Structure 1
Amino acid sequence: MVKFDTLSIVIPVYNEARTIHQILDLLRELELVHDIGKEIILVDDCSTDGSSDTIRAYAARHPEMGLRLLEHTVNQGKGAALHTGIRVATGDYVIIQDADLEYDPEEYNLLIKPVMKGFADVVFGSRFMGGNPHRILFFWHSIGNNVLTFLSNMVTDLNLTDMETCYKLFRRDILQGLKLEEKRFGFEPEVTAKVARVKDVRVYEVGISYYGRTYAEGKKIGWRDGFRAIYCIIKYGLLGA
């Protein structure tokens, strides 16, 4: 069994004041297998709705969580917020957690399992495999996800079912060793392409639940981000940038 003391949870935040307490409640109640500790890092990407104040108030009520809040003074994008959080992470492994309620932190333990067994260095949580709940939304989004995953697999020689998933678990030294550039939603295809080039890296995938949001509920990604993802697949996967 692999020694695993602490999981760093990096949360990019942009205008999530209304729901951020809910995801933090889930993380506070979360019990990881084998008493793995939690390092929770939130990066506010210059929110305009008081998200940072909401987080500080929550941290004051729950000092035992040791929440770490970092703030951008200029809005830079989700990828940039992730870069900031990844740089300061100190856990053995790092997982990405969106500030919304589309993913369930209880399922961290599913991603941790192949790591603890000594099989995996990186684990993707797939919304499209297994028998977990999956909210039915947006036909064209699902087609877009399938196309992007297919194109990514072509250039990385991986056989993922869900490259665009939020839930990605990385061995920290591998993740911090990547030179990441994409500041917006291009983070997903870039990090996938660059992880695939790490010598002898072992990538696994497990099925997870997905409680998708509508745009009225705060979903932010759009069609322009899909075209950027294709550009990133070509740049970082096909051209090896």
Structure 2
Amino acid sequence: MKLSIVIPAYNEGPTIHEILNLIDAVQLVGGIEKEIIIVNDCSTDNTEAAVQRYMSEHPNVPIVYHAHAVNMGKGAALHTGIRVATGEYVVIQDADLEYDPEEYNVLLKPVIKGFADVVFGSRFMGGRPHRILFFWHSIGNKWLTQLSNGFNNLNLTDMETCYKLFRRDIIQGLKLEEKRFGFEPEVTAKVARVKDVRIYEVGISYYGRTYAEGKKIGWRDGVRAIYCIIKYGLFA
């Protein structure tokens, strides 16, 4: 079995080698292999050079590299990575250091036991470390999650989480449209409508960033998320 790890990257030159080191160090349960798919969304920093250097210095790390000619957004980068994935399962991994690859095994556990087809990693459940940051971001996240739950008849605690693991045939079978951060509510709505899908949620840690440290999502993305929840909740 193989896990495809899709990394959308935009101006992550300073940290992408660190996340790749962490991914490489993870030993997946049951001898599961890794496929690391990096999609550079037309970064304006040294992201491409950093990735190419890492690949030349670590030839045994299974990295597949793709680069967009123009910047199209995180969702578009995920579309590219998902399309070329070959593993039985696909997980999303941001290129920053907010999420810990050691927890892939936490996400995989319901899959390995035969219970789950899709697993969300929640930052708001369980006893794992969680950096304390912005009150209103927290309120907004929880409100968006509840709105999404209402439209999709789910009881998730963290719809906006990066860590989502999918059976590959399920995620590749969805027609995904959102090119920016609307990916999260869209994919949640569409996967919820897959016949007989089994969705699980597990607690994960969260080492969040401030805007000074490189966080990119903003209030406009929150407005877009509301639009996407309603659009795909009604018409997915």
Per the normalisation by structure 1, the TM-score is 0.97
2:16 pairs, out of 20, 23, 28, with: 20
2:211 pairs, out of 207, 215, 220, with: 215
1:195 maps to what in 2?
A: 191
Deviations 1:59-108 (A, max 9, x none): 00001012111000000000000000000000000000000000000000
1:171 correspondence with 2:134: no
Unaligned runs of 5+ in 2: none
1:81 correspondence with 2:77: yes
Deviations 1:128-166 (A, max 9, x none): 000000000000000010010000000000000000000
Contact 2:159–2:188 at 8 Å: present in 1 too?
Answer: yes
1:58 correspondence with 2:54: yes
Per the normalisation by structure 2, the TM-score is 0.99
> For the residues of structure 1 that align with 2:158 and 2:49, how far apart are their CA atoms?
34
> For the residues of structure 2 that align with 1:20 and 1:170, how far apart are their CA atoms?
23
1:157 correspondence with 2:171: no
2:142 maps to what in 1?
A: 146
Q: How many residues align?
A: 236
> For the residues of structure 2 that align with 1:98 and 1:200, how far apart are their CA atoms?
29
2:92 maps to what in 1?
A: 96
1:69 pairs, out of 47, 65, 72, with: 65
Structure 1 vs Structure 2 CA RMSD: 0.5
Aligned-partner SS, 1:9: strand
1:108 maps to what in 2?
A: 104
> For the residues of structure 1 that align with 2:235 and 2:87, how far apart are their CA atoms?
29
> For the residues of structure 2 that align with 1:175 and 1:38, how far apart are their CA atoms?
18
1:240 correspondence with 2:235: yes
1:183 correspondence with 2:179: yes
AA partner of residue 150 (structure 1): Q
> For the residues of structure 2 that align with 1:127 and 1:42, how far apart are their CA atoms?
24
Unaligned runs of 5+ in 1: none
> For the residues of structure 2 that align with 1:126 and 1:233, how far apart are their CA atoms?
18
> For the residues of structure 1 that align with 2:213 and 2:21, how far apart are their CA atoms?
19
Kindly state the Cα deviation for residue 28 of structure 1 after the two structures are TM-superposed.
1.1
Over 4 Å off, 4+ runs:
none
Kindly state the Cα deviation for residue 50 of structure 1 after the two structures are TM-superposed.
1.7
1:36 maps to what in 2?
A: 32
Aligned-partner SS, 1:12: strand
Percent identical across equivalent pairs?
77
1:46 correspondence with 2:50: no
Deviations 1:209-235 (A, max 9, x none): 000000000000000000000000000
